[in-house]
Amino acid sequence: MEQVTLTGQSSRLKMAGATLMLVALTAAAGWGIYAVPAPVVDRMLESDLRKSAMQMSRQVESHLYDLGETFRFHALTEHDEEFLELLPVTSDIYRFKLFDAAGQVFWSTRTSDVGTVNTKPYFQSTVAAGGLYYKHEEKPIAEVDFFGASNPEDTGLSSRHVAEVYTPIIRDATFLGAIAFYSDITDLRNLFITRVRLSLAVLSGVALLALSTVILIVHRTNRRQVRDLRTRTNKERELMDEQLRLAREVRLLGELNEWLQSSRSLDELFDMVARFMTHILPEAEGSVYVYSNSRDVLDGCASWNGGAHKAHIHPEGCWGLRRGRTYEFGVSEIDFVCEHAEPHDGRRYFCFPILAHGETVGLLHLRAIEGREDCFNKSRKLAQLCAEQISVAIANVRMRDQLHDQSVRDPLTGLFNRRHMTETLRKSINRSQQTGAALSLIAVDVDHFKKFNDTHGHDAGDMVLRAVGAALEQGCDRDEIACRIGGEEFMLILPDNSPEDAMTRAEHLRQAVEAVTVRYGEKALPRITISVGVAHYPAHGTMPQDLMRAADDALYVAKDKGRNQVQVACGAKNQTKHTPPESQQPSTDAA
């Protein structure tokens, strides 16, 4: 009986303890229902407002007539002003400002803001660095603008919850300025908090009921069964968490691969890498380096999660590159720090050489974020997969660039081919039609080229063509291009050159080619001369084929008049021609 009594007393004590625990859990649930929703809702709203601000920022960028002129010189067209004034009426924001790179407001929905300067540290440290800055604070109702029919002042509230989002404006890796959006999130925040509290109340009630049932079951079952149940539950939970983690990693890797394969340039590729790595490996700060064209150094291309990359590093300064395999600092009893990891604070890091077609093309450097070393230690395999994805993408981009370059280049001279010349000429004509800029086309033909081939062989002829191509390419400046359109025929496109300048340039090219000396074997080949025809837009045509025909006609005129001279197409305002002195005129039997 005493044993039964003791067992009963123990049972009652356990039940009393369970009851007290339920009371405590109920109180905790009540406190959680009141306190938890606000920060949860604030985080949800922050995420949505950040995305909305980025979309609105892109909308503003797309509607501004000239983004660079607007932010550099505060130049706004009448259309820009109308769009900016209508934006608060047609969106959830009630106020926004435009800042230049120095933090000065040059446009705002409040005229009193214009001219003020944002000197807060976050503007230079976060926004100017390309980051998005978010701030949520409670402001007096008098500081909030309202565009609706009702005024929140009628509710008797003295303050409103306001979200400020600063989005950077960046073009060609240059920080132009920023846009600040102000949104009144009071009503939406209160609505979400109320819904979350109701949901938590229901879930808490269900959870407490379930917990009561579990306590009764645990109280009436054997300790070993309970222990086994808990052990099995923990294992299943760990397995589920692991499966979810693996599924997420596989999904992100697939998305990373898809985006990287669609990148059009290495700069775009590295921007994608930086954005994805913040999600794939949130416990690691990292950076990417790629070999320069000279392969003497590696150039820093991107960094993320608070990491920083140096402008250039030497291959000998990284133990991973020197050893040709992944280097992990912090696992051996004796380790050496890579030069690019200095200054070093003892945290573990990885150096993954990036390989493409068996050749090392770069380096992926990852370092554990302070306080998250345990998670970082488990990420090596995933990081290795990321490095492989990046290496394949870099190889594809470079191969695509090489194939494109081969498709538009002449293999003998290295000049652009006829297809690229035709496309460029069409674009140049369209530009001249829109801006009124001058445009000239120069046709070049090597005089007596057949004699070079017949007398000295085709190898000598190829050397002559390469020498002429090099002279023409050296004579090009800015957006001017030289093309080999076939055989010994060349063409040059000269945008932004007046007719007089184009004629002068043509004469300089003729003289430059005439001054070239080509050696074949142990002797120099005969002097090289060219005949040149010049056509101007729009005097000689407004279509590519018209300009090309006019330049060819002028070229044939130059040949008919004795070669080694410059002729302009008929119909131009300036009929000046350039011919060499008689002493330099070639004889009829010269090569």
Q: Which parts of 424-552 are beta strand (E)?
A: 439-446, 481-486, 489-495, 519-520, 523-524, 530-537
How far apart CA 121 and CA 98 sit, in angstroms, is 18
Provide the terminal-to-terminal Cα distance of the chain, rounded to the nearest Å.
130
Q: Tell me phi and psi for residue 110, to 5 degrees.
A: -105, 115
Catalytic residue (choose from 488, 489, 507, 582) = 488
How far apart CA 472 and CA 421 sit, in angstroms, is 14
Tell me whether residue 230 is exposed, middle or buried, using C-beta atoms within 10 angstroms of its C-beta: 0 to 12, 13 to 18, 19 or more. exposed
Q: Which position has the token pair 């997969």?
A: 385
How far apart CA 582 and CA 591 sit, in angstroms, is 17
How far apart CA 216 and CA 205 sit, in angstroms, is 17
Contact criterion met (CB below 8 Å) for 71 and 176:
yes
Contact criterion met (CB below 8 Å) for 464 and 528:
yes
Contact criterion met (CB below 8 Å) for 52 and 179:
no
CA-wise closest residue to 38 among 181, 146, 193: 193
Tokens of 154: 């009628």
CA-wise closest residue to 169 among 134, 136, 119, 129: 129
SS (H, E, C) 446-464: ECCHHHHHHHHCHHHHHHH
How far apart CA 427 and CA 584 sit, in angstroms, is 38
How far apart CA 367 and CA 309 sit, in angstroms, is 12
Instruction: Provide DSSP, 255-313.
Output: HHHHHHHT-SSHHHHHHHHHHHHHHH-TTEEEEEEEE-TTSSSEEEEEEETT----SEE
Positive/negative CA dihedral, 29, 35, 39, 42: positive
Q: How many CB atoms lie within 10 A of CB 456?
A: 19
* Residues in CB range of 90: below 8 A, 6 or more apart: none
How far apart CA 213 and CA 119 sit, in angstroms, is 59
Catalytic residue list contains 316: no
* Residues in CB range of 570: below 8 A, 6 or more apart: 550, 553, 554
Q: Which position has the token pair 């794939």?
A: 280
How far apart CA 467 and CA 474 sit, in angstroms, is 11
Tokens of 59: 């909308």
How far apart CA 481 and CA 416 sit, in angstroms, is 8
Tokens of 397: 């981009």
Give the residue numbers marked as catalytic: 488
